[in-house]
Amino acid sequence: MYEKEFAEVQKLIEGQDQWRLRTINLIASENVLSKKVRAFAGSDFAHRYAEGHPGERYYRGTSFIDEIETKLKANLKILFNCTHTEVRPISGTNANEAVFSKLVNREDVVMANSTPGGGHISHHRMGSLGKFTKNIIDFPLTADGYHIDIEKTKFLIKSAKPKLIVLGKSLFLFPEPVRELAEICAENKVKIIYDAAHVLGLIAGKQFQDPLAEGALLVTASTHKTFFGSQRGVILSNMDDEEWRKIDRGAFPGSSSNHHLHTLAQLAMATYEMMEFGQQYAADVRANAKALAAALDRLGFNVEAKEFGYTESHQVAVNVSNLGGGERVSKTLELNDIILNMNMLPHEPLRKHDHPDGIRIGVQEMTRFGMKQDEMERIAELIKECVIDNKPVKDEVNRFRRDYQDVKYSYDDLPETTEKKPAAKSRK
């Protein structure tokens, strides 16, 4: 009875698959799975449950996922040099909620990055943090808007007495002052939470600050922005075992029941790719972001934070108020198959969130498809032709993208199954 509608949805999915391979995707919060990891989205784990921890499940039939989850946790401990890992949150927001639900009580003061200052909605009054306290104060920023004002923050820590501070953000160009704030936080018993959703892959690849080593108590993150996916969340820490038990209960049963085992298995696979290729990938991502920023600047765009070298992450922020604003520019680019988001910039009032001055660009996905600095120059030219010269560039974008279809920094070249090879050997 619904065959036609069913087929229509199938067609839409196929349409998306084909279309996105023709586009230049510059959304800063996305990445692609390798073909090999993506192929396991349909594993039997997609049908299963496994509450609790490996070896202590509330469900039967979990022996395979137990082994995978144990390996994943061990590998994350090596990658991030930590003693505790929580891999059950199914997103970064879910990871934040697990932490906030256990550490924040009504009326507690929490300091976080404001929305124009780059903060994420889950750190906001309207988002996850706001469910536990409304006493959220913004970090004071320096005049450029991309750095926390350390002296003013120290003053606020002493005077407003926050219970915790949440560093890390969504518009995230430069490292946060974890080391600089660690001492005063310790003196005042302020916990440092570091949201690494955007930069987890750069941290894993040793191309960004190491927040735990610098003094953060907990790191929360998504696993699919600069990390290689799948779409999930993690919590990392070196806190003592008793404190960690609270966080553990925040993840389950506090903010999840089943933890989506098929994507957990994919994350375990992608983590090996990160362990092998992460350093080179993260270095290439940073170099590409800087190259794209410099090229856009040269071509006449108002690239933010020029005096600081534009960026140290995968992101570039551009003020496009002179070109009609972020909404207009991002829509025009989308019509030409260049996909990126409008974004508020630090100088803007909150009421402008629907019509911000900025766009946020991320190079991590195109880097994973093998693009380097020369390709960044070409992308900058295409953006310029599209939004400054008002020329249609869609055909050229599609042509350009044809040469970048394979996911690099991956095991995609390995044979299809793991079983065929030993069998062939034994026949010899």
Ligand X SMILES: Cc1ncc(COP(=O)(O)O)c(C=O)c1O
Contact indicator for 230, 90 with CB cutoff of 8 Å: no
Distance in Å, CB of 250 to ligand X, minimum: 15
Which is closer to ligand X, CB of 200 or CB of 407? 200
Identify the three-state secondary structure at position 24.
Answer: strand
Q: Which residue has the tokens 């639900």?
A: 101
- 106 contact partners, CB below 8 Å, separation of at least 6: 132, 133
Pairwise CA distance, residues 184 & 194, whole Å = 16
Q: Do 120 and 274 touch, CB atoms closer than 8 A?
A: no
CB of 122 to ligand X, least distance (A): 5
Residue 218: name the closest of 148, 150, 166, 174 by CA.
166
Calpha distance 364→362 (Å, rounded): 6
Least distance (Å) between residue 221 CB and ligand X:
8
> By C-beta, is 222 or 266 nearer to ligand X?
222
Q: How many CB atoms lie within 10 A of CB 42?
A: 10
- Smaller CB distance to ligand X: residue 29 or 237? 29
Q: Which of residues 93 and 319 has its CB atom nearest to ligand X in the complex?
A: 93
Are 386 and 332 contacting, i.e. CB atoms less than 8 angstroms apart?
Answer: yes
Residue ranges that bind ligand X, judged by CB under 6 A: 29, 91-93, 120, 122, 168-170, 195, 197-198, 222, 233
Q: Please, which residue, 114 or 122, has the CB nearer to ligand X?
A: 122
Nearer to ligand X, 211 or 233 (CB): 233
Tell me the closest approach of the beta carbon of residue 89 to ligand X, in angstroms. Answer: 8
> What minimum distance in Å lies between the beta carbon of 187 and ligand X?
27
The tokens describing 240, both together, are: 């003592």
Given a contact cutoff of 8 angstroms between Cβ atoms, the answer to whether 378 and 295 are in contact is no
How deeply is 150 buried, as exposed, middle or buried, from its count of CB atoms within 10 A (0-12, 13-18, 19+)? Answer: middle
Interatomic CA distance for residues 330 and 332, integer angstroms: 6
What's the rounded Cα separation, in Å, for the pair 76 and 82? Answer: 8
- Looking at beta carbons only, is 325 or 362 nearer to ligand X? 362
The partner residues of 148 in beta bridges, in order of sequence, read 141
User: Closest approach of Cβ 298 to ligand X, in Å?
Assistant: 29
d(CA 292, CA 259): 38
Query: 93 or 237: whose CB is closer to ligand X?
Result: 93
Shortest Å distance, C-beta 289 to ligand X: 16
Q: Least CB distance from residue 363 to ligand X, whole Å?
A: 16
93 or 256: CB nearest ligand X: 93
337-348: string of b/e by CB count within 10 Å (b at 16+)? bbbbbbbbbbbb
Phi/psi for 219 (5° steps) reads: -115, 130
* Shortest distance in whole angstroms from residue 172 CB to ligand X: 7
